[in-house]
Structure 1
Amino acid sequence: MLRSLLPLAALLMGSAFLLFAGGVNSLILPVRGEAEGFSAASLGLLGTGWAIGYVAGCLRTPTIVARVGHIRAFGAMCAIAAIAVLLSLVLITPLVWIPVRALSGFCFAGAAMIVESWLNERVDSASRGRVFGIYTMVNLAATTAGQMVLTLGDANGYFFFVLAAMVYCLALLPTAISATTTPNPLTSVSLNLRGLWKNSPIAVVAVLMVGVSNASFGTLAAVYAARIGLDIGDIALFASIPILAGAAAQIPIGIASDKLDRRRVLIGIGLCALLADGLFLFGGFVSLWAVMSLAALFGATVFAMYPVIVAHANDHAAPGTFIQVSGGFCWSTGSGQSLDQRPPVSR
């Protein structure tokens, strides 16, 4: 396993830097927006803007990659994401933050498609589940670290915006200076949703439901935590625990999906996620310990689903079409998110 990961080290490092900066950015915006007095609708629309940009990124990234290649396209996504977070610092208003958040979503969709297609071309079916589990674990750990950084300073200043922009720029360096072989040129640049459905209808439905399920939590978790009275440290912890739990679950679930039918593994994870959601919604828990425990259970199940879905679909994908498969799943995830972006209910 280590031998198969070493050639991918630069790619994983670049992805980790990108997700670290994204973790800072995704948490500082709702926290700062709440402090600036943004309305609940405006905070909810930040998530909608992200989803719209994400879908647009899925549609346009294959064309960009076909024109300039994987490395240049990934670098461009990192640079634009840095510009977006700095714009959020310079112009603190929902009228700017919502479209800028859409720009960030575009960049993250493009970067995810590039990285995942690159990984798929470098691994085989026997180890794809474990490699994608490690890739997801690295990303979730980086996101958690980015969110926990907010406990070290004042969210009302400029530091965290500048930090995120710096790390976004840092993310483009590992792949830019690495000697790792780039993926083969694309054989197609169109997003073939019909072909994706024929390839794996289970994966298409599952990834859409993951987008619907995760959207509200990912966008409004920090706002919910603030409105039940948590301080900035507990808010960061509440947003980070599910991601950390999801990261810890990646390797065992990835190994299980390589040894068993990935569809059976996915059903098992889905049932556990349903249990966690039911307890969160109807359990009536109010203590900090109970809320954090349920958040951990939710993250350990839900964040482990996507790599299993992608691994299952790419087991049947033709060579040279991996970015279309990744793009289709990113598109489905973003569409699912846009279906469920609602502003939080005030206490």
Structure 2
Amino acid sequence: MRRNLLPVMALLLGTLFLFLGNGLHGLLLPVRGSAEGYSNEILGLLGTSWATGFVAGCLIAPKLVMRVGHVRAFSSFISLIAIIALLSGILVDQYWWVALRAVTGFCIAGTSMIIESWLNERATNESRGTIFSFYISVTLIGVVGGQMLVGIVDPSTTILFMICGILYCLAMLPTTVSTAATPQPLTSVSLNLPRLYRNSPVSFVGILMVGIANGAYGTLGAVFGARAGLSPNMIAIMLSITIFVGALAQFPAGKASDRIDRRYVLAALSAIAALAALLLIILRPQDAMMMIVLVAIYGAAANALYPIAVAHANDFASSDEFVQVSGGLLLLYGIGTIIGPTIGGPVMTVLGPHALFAVTAVAHVLLTAYALYRSRLRAAIPAAERENVPNMPVSASPMSTPESLSLDPRAAPLPPHTETPDSDETHPTGERKA
């Protein structure tokens, strides 16, 4: 394992700092915004804006990277992210924050794509699984660690914004000083909605519903905690536990879906998530620990849905369609994360903070009903012929980019990279080799 990870350790270190910054920045804005008295609609638009920028980055950033090169593009993206984090502490204005958040999402997509393509360039067929698993772990640790930083300093000061800027700048260093060869061109993944639906209606609808629910909770969970009277430290714990238990739930949920019809597993997990959400609405627990327990149950079920839905889609796709199908579903998930907080903000304003879980419950109930309905119309793939369940997507939202799909050990090996005259003679720093 050590031999496999040493060539990419600098990149993984940069990834850790990047996601530490993402976790901190993504939680700090709604916590500070809530303290400033910003409306639920505006706080929901922070998530909508970020997700819109992220999806646009997945589609547009590869062209920018191909034009100026990986290292120059990475340095530009990360510099913008650091500047925006610092500006957010200076320009404490709701409309500026919404606009800046879109730029952050765009740049995060670009930086993540570059890191993922660089990792894939260094991975061999034998080490891809190790590198992919370690990459997923690093991103999860980064997001959770960044969120926990919110509790160490008063969010009403500018200190946490400055820490964000420092973390983002640290993320730039390992990659810019790396002597690794320039990665191959980024993968372009098209989003063909009719084809995705024909391949697997349950996965199509399921990913959209999961995106809506996760986008609403991921963006407005901190707002819910603040409106419900939790301290910044308890809010950080609540959101971090959601990610942590979601990661733990991946293995048993995946194993269950490998043995029985995945649609039944999707329906059961969605029903559990909906039930936990409804209990939060009905009981409105005043005790912080009871609230966190219910949120943890919700997170365990909700965060296990995405990889099972992706695996179900891949059950009906040929091996050479894996990246296209999974990449299209990833972008569809991004569309859902745009819709979720856009709906969640106004609903919370009208019905109160606990109504956030009414939005997630509706999405999960619809997924449960549709999965059961489709299970009567189409036979399940035999267990021996199914794909293995992939890991959940990660990031502050959490989302990953289409580039991460080529790191997945289930993906077909990429063809050898043919060096272009420029990349053959160009050093990663952008200078010609002697």
Q: Secondary structure at the match of 2:156?
A: coil
Residue deviations 1:168-223 (CA, integer Å, cap 9, x gap): 1111222222234443235x657353698399657655543332120111001111
Alignment check: 8 A CA contact 1:132 1:254 kept = no
Partner of 1:316: 319
Partner of 1:82: 82
Query: What is the correspondence of 1:165-184 to structure 2 with a 5 Å cutoff?
Result: 165-184=165-184
Residue deviations 1:264-296 (CA, integer Å, cap 9, x gap): 679646733541332222364413223212322
State how far apart, in whole Å, the 1-side matches of 2:300 and 2:104 are: 26
Partner of 1:70: 70
State how far apart, in whole Å, the 1-side matches of 2:62 and 2:331 are: 12
Q: Which amino acid aligns with 2:277?
A: F
Shift in CA distance, 79/325, structure 1 to aligned 2, threshold 3 Å: farther
Q: Which amino acid aligns with 2:52?
A: I
Alignment check: 8 A CA contact 1:215 1:340 kept = yes
1:296 equivalenced with 2:300 (yes/no): no
Q: TM-score, normalised by structure 1?
A: 0.82
Gap runs ≥5 in structure 1? none
State how far apart, in whole Å, the 2-side matches of 1:184 and 1:40 are: 43
State how far apart, in whole Å, the 1-side matches of 2:198 and 2:328 are: 11
Alignment check: 8 A CA contact 2:266 2:308 kept = no
Partner of 1:280: 277
State how far apart, in whole Å, the 1-side matches of 2:105 and 2:267 are: 26
Partner of 1:138: 138
Shift in CA distance, 185/223, structure 1 to aligned 2, threshold 3 Å: closer
Deviates more, 1:156-165 or 1:107-116: 107-116
Partner of 1:235: 235
Q: Secondary structure at the match of 2:336?
A: helix
Shift in CA distance, 300/190, structure 1 to aligned 2, threshold 3 Å: closer
Partner of 1:193: 192
Partner of 1:340: 340
Q: Which amino acid aligns with 2:158?
A: Y
Query: What is the correspondence of 1:6-17 to structure 2 with a 5 Å cutoff?
Result: 6-17=6-17
Residue 112 of structure 1: how far off its partner (Å): 3.0
State how far apart, in whole Å, the 1-side matches of 2:253 and 2:3 are: 17
Alignment check: 8 A CA contact 1:211 1:335 kept = yes
State how far apart, in whole Å, the 2-side matches of 1:298 and 1:155 are: 27
Which of the pair has the greater relative contact order for Cα pairs under 8 Å at 6+ separation? 1
Deviates more, 1:262-271 or 1:141-150: 262-271
Shift in CA distance, 290/126, structure 1 to aligned 2, threshold 3 Å: farther
Alignment check: 8 A CA contact 2:273 2:302 kept = no
Q: Secondary structure at the match of 2:319?
A: coil
Residue 127 of structure 1: how far off its partner (Å): 5.9
Shift in CA distance, 192/51, structure 1 to aligned 2, threshold 3 Å: closer
Partner of 1:20: 20
Q: Which amino acid aligns with 2:27?
A: L
Higher gyration radius (CA): 2
1:154 equivalenced with 2:154 (yes/no): yes
Shift in CA distance, 49/182, structure 1 to aligned 2, threshold 3 Å: same
Residue deviations 1:62-96 (CA, integer Å, cap 9, x gap): 21222233343333322211111112112111120
User: Between Structure 1 and Structure 2, how many residues are aligned?
Assistant: 339
Shift in CA distance, 168/269, structure 1 to aligned 2, threshold 3 Å: farther
Residue deviations 1:102-139 (CA, integer Å, cap 9, x gap): 111112222333344444553549964x6544423321
Shift in CA distance, 172/239, structure 1 to aligned 2, threshold 3 Å: same
RMSD: 3.6
Shift in CA distance, 255/216, structure 1 to aligned 2, threshold 3 Å: closer
State how far apart, in whole Å, the 2-side matches of 1:100 and 1:310 are: 31
State how far apart, in whole Å, the 2-side matches of 1:113 and 1:270 are: 32
Q: Secondary structure at the match of 1:339?
A: helix
State how far apart, in whole Å, the 1-side matches of 2:169 and 2:259 are: 36
Q: Which amino acid aligns with 1:316?
A: S
Gap runs ≥5 in structure 2? 354-434
Alignment check: 8 A CA contact 2:30 2:222 kept = yes
Alignment check: 8 A CA contact 2:23 2:145 kept = yes
Alignment check: 8 A CA contact 1:141 1:247 kept = no
